[in-house]
Structures are given as structure tokens and as C-alpha cells.
Amino acid sequence: MMINNLSPDLFRVIDANLNRLREGIRVVEDILRYKDNNKELSSKLKHLRHLAQVKETKELLAYRDTHNDVLRTSIKSELTRSGLTSIIIANFKRAQESSRVLEELYKLHSIEYSENFKYIRYELYALEKKVLL
């Protein structure tokens, strides 16, 4: 198992952030793909979503514990959006924050993984600007 340098306590953090990263990207990707028919930007997002993977999926999955997530209940600001722009902003931020968490945690284990998540984060910053301006 490649993640043996990481504490199993962090496997759940990594699993949650991998999911959050891919989910955030997917929301924006689908809006650009199906609503805007924007092949260029949705393709770039799809590519980033596919880069947001690690080989140790089964090892991480073993530590998933959604039932005991202490912040599982949504807060008020997560339950309402003012429009598609607010959905896009929220999901870009979600993905950027998750990629930062993964970048930092993987500094303990794999510079290659860490740099991959850093790359994803900076690409998301650039795409956010393209989409919103």
C-alpha cells in the first residue's frame, strides 16, 4: 500500500476531499456542458476531474464513515443559492479548497500526488476566472 507513510486517521480526510474535489468540478462541468454547450471549458474540467485520483481508492474507502461525520447536516448557506452563478462559485471554491487540503496532506507521503493536486488547484483558479468574467 503506497499510503503507508500516512496515518490511517488521515485516510478519511483524504477520501472526503477527493470526493469533494471531484463533485465540485463535476457540478461546474455539467453546467458548462449541458446548459452552455461549452465543449472547451467542460472538457478542461473533465480532464481535471480525471486527474483528481489516487491509486489507493480501496484503502481509503475502508476508512469512509459518513454516518459519523460530525458536520454532515447542512448549514443554512448550503441550502440556498441565488442562481447558477452562485452554484458555480460555490463549487469552484469547494474544489479549490479540497485540492489544497490534498496538496498539503500528500506532502507527507508523495510529492508527485501533492504536485498533481497543486496543478489542479491552479488550473481551477484560471478556469474560474474564464467562466465568471
Closest CA to 13 of 133, 77, 97, 80: 97
C-alpha cell at 98: 479540497
What pLDDT, on a 0 to 100 scale, did the predictor assign at position 1? 39
Q: Which domain holds residue 113?
A: 2-132
What percent of the chain is modeled with pLDDT above 70?
Answer: 93
- The more confident residue out of 109 and 22 is 22
Single pTM value for the model: 0.90
C-alpha cell at 43: 472538457
pLDDT at 73 over 80: no
Q: What distance in Å separates the CA atoms of residue 62 and residue 81, rounded to the nearest whole number?
A: 33
What is the total count of domains within the chain? 1
